[in-house]
Structure 1
Amino acid sequence: MSALLVTAAPAERRAPAGPLRVGPVTPEVHRAFLASRAAAGAGGPSFLQLPSWAQVKDGWCHQLVGWGTESGPLAGVALVLLRPFPGTRKYFAYLPEGPVADWADPDLDGWLGPLLAHLRASGAFAVRIGPGPAYRRWDAATLKAGTGAGRRLADVLADEVDPLGTVVADRLRARGWHRCGGDSGDGADAQPRHVFQIPLTGRSTDDLWSGLNQEWRRNVRKARRSGVEITVGSAADLPEFHRLLRITEERDGFRLGRDLAYYERQYAVLNAEHPGRMKLYLARHEGEVLAAHTMITVGGRVWYQTGASADHRREVRPSNALQWRMLLDAHAAGAAVYDLRGVPSTLDPGDRAHGLLRWKLGTGGQVVETLGEWEIPMQGTTNQALFRAFQAYLARR
């Protein structure tokens, strides 16, 4: 199918009635649609749906897909990552934090059904998506009060429940989709189900400062008094960032499994698509880099993606200083939200993972539970068997 040559349109515009066409779109059309969604408010789509992200993911092939009526505006797009199943011409189709569409559309089948049909025709034996709407939100103060032995996020009444998220989850279940990892989602989603966000719209820098808890304010002041300097680095600083990341992984007991080439490729392709899209922030003390964090910007959303720090001189609080500078830069750029990405679901201070949540809670933001990721196998005995084999492979990993 030739590329759809429909134009991007703001999210609030509805496509006119008529047959829906699904097919490839050019990177330019895809980016224009994402920009229109960002301009419509709420921060915009995820960086994982950028056309350039396909170049970051080594070992996957991809499609850029769009849909709309023959003469109407584009109604949705998706970056589809395709992982081939060895020895076959079949693929696992993954739409990270996508597709980008109007999830409030009551006619969900009107676009989701044709999208699935297109992916099946492309050889997909199963599809995994990450729907856009949020599900629940907890303020930092609420979770601080709810902290306790054996407790988890689900044990605390949320400050806000998004009705759209609830409706979308019900619709997907009714159509045979399965939520990865069930309702808990622990360890099952490829992208974090629980993320931490700091709203920026309508807030001053004084508001952001007062939103920090006393420990955070004390640590930022200490970093300043100790002479910690924050700068924006370049591609030449990525080896130092990666060295600190390996130290952080060893100290904190996790492995991202990403080599230096991965970050060099990410930095190159994201900034080639839009200069300044990915930045590397460095915290130096007495000339030595003690911490380094990466930041990604798409429209009105800014993400703190990956952080790394040394084992020594942690008392000068370089990571707090980095985050405060990145938060200020996001605010100055007019971002609607600063997203610190994933947090664990544990509220038990005795759990090692709780330290990450506690650190982010100190910024005064919110924990947001997304809808998580959902999967569905394509119809047919062969597709069902490949899906079960693929699930077993993921479980072993």
Structure 2
Amino acid sequence: MNTAQPTQPLTIRTLTESEHSAFLAQHPTASFLQNPRWPQVKTDWRGESVGAFDGDELVAASLVLYRPLPVKLPVLGSKSLAYLAEGPVFDAGRISLEALLPALVEHLKSQGAFLIRMGLPGVVRRWAAEDVRRGLSKGEELSMHELTPLEEDAETPAVHAQLEQLGWTPPKSSEEFEAGQPQYQARIPLVDDGGNPLDVEAVLARMDQTSRRQTRKSTRSELTITVGTEEDLPTWQKLYEETAERDDFTGRPLSYFQRMYRELNAAADTECTLYFAHLEDTPLAAAIYVRQGGFAWYVYGASSSEERKRYAPRALQLRQIEDALAAGCRWYDLGGLSPSLDPEYELAGLTRFKTTMGADVVQTHGEWDYPVNKLLTKGFELYMSRR
């Protein structure tokens, strides 16, 4: 367990974008959700980059997004939810949670936070893709936790106990996606256990037979893979809206993707790439990929109902994997999934698809709450439960 202590009480202050970016550059697996330009994408929130200093040394940093309550309350004034998505970022061997979190809480209180929600970075457990696929196929286990993990962090129980002692409330166990970032993530490793880079064939070998066959077939399907620009986002949006209608989900507007593309490409050591798979002049699939430091994400995908047997989405997945490997990334993230292994569960198909792609399942610490004002927090939770 981390026992590092600062030489004096930590000082918390707002960071400039350059200060925050320089700190993130030292932490190549930090999430792009911690990027100081992300608030320019999430325009319904107010953003602040905050840093914790041990004397003159910056030892932790976090992007904080503030979402105000819809009404200003008498006496209490304007209050906000303070949200730290996959933050704060810090060196566990350099600073302790006991030193960092109380100082950070006091700063967020001064900014009017009635509730602080923190997605502490780190992996609690990891299950092998093949084991999860087998578990889903057999249908004998109900949960990921009934499988033997590939790896498990021995310090997690002590970390969680410390968080509770500091007044933080752990995430509730759920098979569904909660508001915020899913606690369970699908990640394809791009390095071996010794940290050595894999090649494309080694990544393909992680897939199940069907995914590997379809991926290889996509490379022989007369498809052309291109990289788009911001001017091509309306073409993306048309495919995306077709996908949303077909798969029955509520999509984001074109303006969101325009901001995302513009802001992340303006950030240090970050790229947001738009890919298309064309058959002659017809776009069949598109994808939005983000890389920051040594981490890559498949963030959004869209596809046409035409020419499905050409497996255009598979071709785009392969291209993103190739680009992530070329950039020296350690992981290629396919996003969240459910810990349920019930083959009849409504999200089972998502887990099946991502693990057949060769993605291991990692359990993160999840999002912990610090209720500054318990009454407002209870009202907020009631409101969220009825949405």
Same fold (TM over 0.5): yes
Partners of 2:21 and 2:160 lie apart in 1 by: 27
SS at 2:334's partner residue?
Answer: strand
Matched, 1:242 2:227: no
Tell me, in whole angstroms, the C-alpha distance in 2 between the residues paired with 1:366 and 1:124.
Answer: 36
Q: Which residue does 2:65 correspond to in 1?
A: 81
Residues 81-108 of structure 1: CA deviation (Å, up to 9, x unaligned): 0111121311110011111123456732
CA separation in 2, counterparts of 1:15 and 1:35? 23
Of 311, 314, 324, the residue aligned with 1:317 is 311
The counterpart of 2:16, out of the listed 23, 26, 31, is 26
Q: Is it true that 1:133 corresponds to 2:128 in the alignment?
A: no
Root-mean-square deviation (Å) = 2.0
- For 2:58 and 2:208, locate their aligned partners in 1 and report how far apart those are by CA, in whole Å: 44
- 1:388 is aligned, of 373, 378, 382, to 378
Residue-by-residue CA offset, 1:4-60 (whole Å, 9 max, x unaligned) = xxxxxxxx9x8861231111111100010000122xxxxx20000000001111111
Distance 2:126 2:40 in 1: 33
Residue deviations 1:298-329, cap 9 Å, x none? Answer: 11011111111112221110111110111011
Helix, strand or coil: the match of 2:180? Answer: coil
Question: For structure 1, which segment, 17-26 or 269-278, has the greater mean C-alpha deviation from structure 2 after superposition?
Answer: 269-278
Q: Which residue of 2 aligns with 1:277?
A: 271
User: Is the 1:219–1:320 Cα contact (8 Å) retained in structure 2?
Assistant: yes
| Mapped pair 1:252 → 2:252 | no
Is it true that 1:123 corresponds to 2:112 in the alignment? Answer: yes
- Tell whether the 8 Å contact from 2:87 to 2:118 is kept in structure 1 after alignment: yes
1:333 aligned onto 2:327: yes
Equivalent residue runs for 1:24-173 within 5 Å: 24-38=14-28, 44-71=29-56, 73-85=57-69, 86-87=71-72, 88-103=77-92, 107-147=96-136, 148-149=138-139, 151-173=142-164
Contact kept, 8 Å, 1:98 with 1:130, in 2: the verdict is: yes
Q: Answer yes or no: is the 8 Å Cα contact 1:67–1:111 preserved in 2.
A: yes
Q: Does 1:200 align with 2:190?
A: yes
The answer to whether the aligner puts 1:366 opposite 2:356 as a matched pair is no
Which residue of 292, 295, 299 maps to 1:301?
A: 295
Deviation, 1:194, is 1.0
Which segments of 5 or more consecutive residues in structure 1 lack a partner in the other structure? Answer: 1-11, 39-43
| Percent of residue pairs bearing the same amino acid type | 38
Name the residue aligned to 2:223. Answer: 228
Deviation at residue 77 of structure 1 after TM alignment: 0.5
The CA distance in 2 between the partners of 1:330 and 1:49, in whole Å, is 19
Per the alignment, do residues 28 and 275 of structure 1 end up closer, same or farther by CA in structure 2, a change over 3 Å counting? closer
Query: SS of the counterpart of 1:375?
Result: strand
Maintained 8 Å contact 1:185/1:372: no
Distance 1:140 1:215 in 2: 14
Deviations 1:145-188 (A, max 9, x none): 211447232332322211233332222123221223x1336332
Which amino acid is 2:148 matched to? L
Q: How much has 1:75 moved relative to structure 2?
A: 0.5
| SS of equivalent to 1:178 | coil
**Residues of 2 paired with 1:220 and 1:37: CA distance?**
32
Q: Could you tell me which of 319, 344, 347 is aligned with 1:353?
A: 347
- The amino acid across from 1:358 in the alignment is R
CA distance in 2: counterparts of 1:109 and 1:16, whole angstroms: 10
Tell me, yes or no, if structure 1 residue 261 matches structure 2 residue 255: yes
Equivalent AA in structure 1 for residue 23 of structure 2? F
Secondary structure of 1:312's match?
Answer: coil
Rounded to whole Å, the distance in 1 between the matches of 2:156 and 2:45 is 29
- Give aligned pairs, total: 373
| Helix, strand or coil at the partner of 1:311 | coil
Superposed CA deviations along residues 93-151 of structure 1, whole A, max 9, x for unmatched, are: 00111111234567322111000011111111110000111111110111122114472
Q: Residues 5 and 94 of structure 2 are in contact (CA less than 8 Å); yes or no, is this contact kept in structure 1?
A: no
* CA distance 1:15–1:81, change in 2 (3 Å): same
User: What residue identity is the alignment partner of 2:306?
Assistant: H
Q: How far apart in 1 are the matches of 2:287 and 2:27?
A: 27
Q: TM-score, normalised to structure 2's length?
A: 0.91
Instruction: Name the aligned partner's letter for residue 80 of structure 1.
Output: V
Over 3 Å counting, the alpha-carbon distance change for 1:312 and 1:191 in structure 2 is same
Judging changes above 3 Å, is the alpha-carbon distance between structure 1 residues 275 and 121 closer, same or farther for their aligned structure 2 residues?
closer
More deviation in 116-125 or 195-204?
195-204
Q: Deviations over 1:189-214 (max 9, x none)?
A: 41121111111122122212222222
Gaps of 5+ in 2: none
Aligned residue among 144, 168, 183 for 1:177: 168
